[in-house]
Structure formats: structure tokens, C-alpha cells
Amino acid sequence: MADKHTIITDKYLVKPGTKVSLKDYDTEYNDDVFFKGNILEKADGQKILDEEKEKLAVMQEKLYAYNQYSVLIIFQAMDAAGKDGAVKHIMSGINPAGVKVHSFKTPSSNELEHDYFWRHYIALPPRGEVGIFNRSHYENVLITRVHPEYIMNEHLPGINNIKDINDEFWQKRFKQIKRFEKNISQNGTIVLKFFLHISKKEQKKRFIERIDNPKKNWKISPADSKERNFWKDYQFAYEEAISNTSTEYAPWFIIPADDKWFTRLAIGVIIQKQFEKLNLEYPKVSDKTLAELKVIREQLMNES
């Protein structure tokens, strides 16, 4: 029988070439994962997540010691889907010195003077480290597709008005993204992309909670409510982006986001599964170095 890692990874992986329709993907956990012969429940999920966090801490240390790979984890979602919470809970056991989180906001005037990959490229994790992009270069085929007028701020050759931003334009961008991700993958960066799939009903609930709770007022703005009006447009933009850019070297995973505990568990399990594929080991030192270490140990033991 397949273990929980395989079940969860296979269930939410978007295989290359898949034509994604988000209505075919769950937004909530449907009691369809088993643990020790029983349906996985929230209490079990927390135990498993704690175990996964311990394993991730070990794997991160090996990643740093091995010094050949880096890991880039990308989170994309509609507002209030739980990106920040997922980062906080899953990565809490990892050495903060080896993890960098980047939350990309509206590009600055300086960033707009470069190609749209520039600000993301300079934030890529170095070898031995984990980088987390809370929103990413995908905003350039998501929010800009819903609001194509934003493209005009990029001053692109051949784009003189919004009518020039057609389907051919977006297909070119998908190809650019795949080239970018293939390049960094071939140079040692493991790319994992997560779409946190929240329902419109659950988003409404979380928006109201943020409005009613003074401690959470800062988490919501009038702009969030405005963007909610474009729900169908965003769903289409995500479907197109995921369909066109899920590859063997940079796969997408569509994770149910209505139940936060399961969202965090699924992400943690998938990250751990991908880490295991690297077969990382601690570096072995030479016989000469071992002999020198034994001498040093003996000297330390003989200190008064």
C-alpha cells in the first residue's frame, strides 16, 4: 500500500500537459487520505506535520552541507488562502539562517525598468539554502492578465496599447517562464510550486473574520474586496498559468486550502518527499582529515 507521502504527492500534482479546470479540484479535505488504516483526521495530521518538520530540519542541514542544490518554494493563491500561515507553520523547525522568505508586492519604478524576472532572479536562494516566494514571477501572468493595463507600465517594445496584449502575448510569457525555471533547475535549484485552492465561500468567511477581529484588521484592505469582484477572471488566469507551466522540472501542486491544518500537512509532506528524491548525505571527509581530527580530539581530551 502506498504511504501518505505518495498518496498526497500524486493526488495534488499537476502532471505536465494537463488542462486544468479548477472546478475539478477540491478546495477542502474530503477524508480521502488514510493513516495507519484509518481516515486521516486533524489530530493525526498535526502529529504527522510535527514529524515532517523534524525531517525537514535534518534535510535542510544536509542541503547546506552538500552545497550542490538550492530549493525554491513558490506559493500562489487568492487572498486569505493561507500562504503566510503555511510558511510560518511548515518552516518553523528549520534553521532561519538557511531560509529566506520574499513577499513580492507591486513592482517599484526601478523594478519596472528591468525585465519582470529581474527582481525574482536576484532573490533566488544560493546553494545550500531554501528560498520561499510568497507570490512570484507568476503575478506577471495572473494579476496582469486580469488587469492588462498594468502591462503598459513595463514599456515593452511592440506593446503600444492594451489591444496588443493578446493570447499570443500570454503564450510567449508562459514560454519565458518555463525557460527561466528550466535554466535555474539545470543549475541546481529544485523548484516546487503550490497553488492554495480556496473556495469563494471560505474566502468570504475569512474576510469577515479579519474585519471583525481588531488584531486581524491589518490583514485586509479595500483592494482585497475589489479584487474579489474579479474572482472568475483570476480562476481562469490560474488555470491558464498552471496548465501551461507545470513541468517535470518545476511542477505545480494544487492544494485544498479551506482546511488550514490539511493545507499545511499536504505542503509539508510534498516538500519532504521532494527532498528525499535528492538522496542527500552528509559529506564524507578524507582519511587524512579523519586522522587529523583524531589527533585534535586526543589533544582536547588531554587538556587540563
Q: In 3D, which of 32, 13, 4, 62 has the Cα closest to residue 269?
A: 4
Indicate the average pLDDT of the chain. Answer: 92
Please name which of 240, 264, 266 lies closest in space to residue 253, comparing C-alpha atoms. Answer: 266
What's the average model confidence in pLDDT over 206-224?
Answer: 95
What pLDDT sits at residue 4?
56
| 11-70 per-position pLDDT tens digit | 899 999 999 999 999 999 987 666 666 778 888 888 888 888 888 999 999 999 999 999
- Residues in Cβ contact with 98 at an 8 Å cutoff, skipping those fewer than 6 apart: 60, 61, 63, 64, 128, 129, 130
pLDDT exceeds cutoff 90 at 7: no
Which pLDDT score is estimated for 217? 96
Residues in the chain: 304
- C-alpha dist (Å) from residue 258 to 26, 125, 194, 255: 9, 30, 15, 9
The H or E element containing residue 253 is strand 252-256
pLDDT tens for each residue of 252-274: 999 999 999 999 999 999 999 99
Please, which pLDDT band fits residue 1 given cuts at 50, 70 and 90? very low
Phi, psi of 78 (to 5 degrees): -70, 160
Task: Summarize pLDDT for 61-79 with one digit per residue, the tens.
Answer: 999 999 999 999 999 999 9
Pairing of strands 13-14, 38-39: unpaired
pLDDT value at residue 35: 62
For residue 88, give the 3-state DSSP assignment.
helix
CB contact at 8 A, 181 and 251: no
145 with 237: CB under 8 angstroms? yes
0.85 exceeded by pTM = yes
The residue-averaged pLDDT of 126-146 equals 97
pLDDT of 299 strictly over 60: yes
* Residues 67, 102, 104: CA angle, nearest 5 degrees: 140
pLDDT category, 93, cuts 50, 70, 90? confident
The amino acid at 93: G
pLDDT digits (tens, 9 = 90+) for 75-91: 999 999 999 999 888 78
- Model confidence at 92, in pLDDT bands (50, 70, 90)? confident
**Mean local confidence (pLDDT), 138-159:** 97
pLDDT at 228 over 90: yes
Distance from chain centroid for Cα 114: 24
The residues, any chain, with a CB within 8 Å of residue 254's CB and separated by 6 or more, are 12, 14, 20, 22, 25, 195, 197, 242
Helix (H, G, I), strand (E, B) or coil at 255: strand
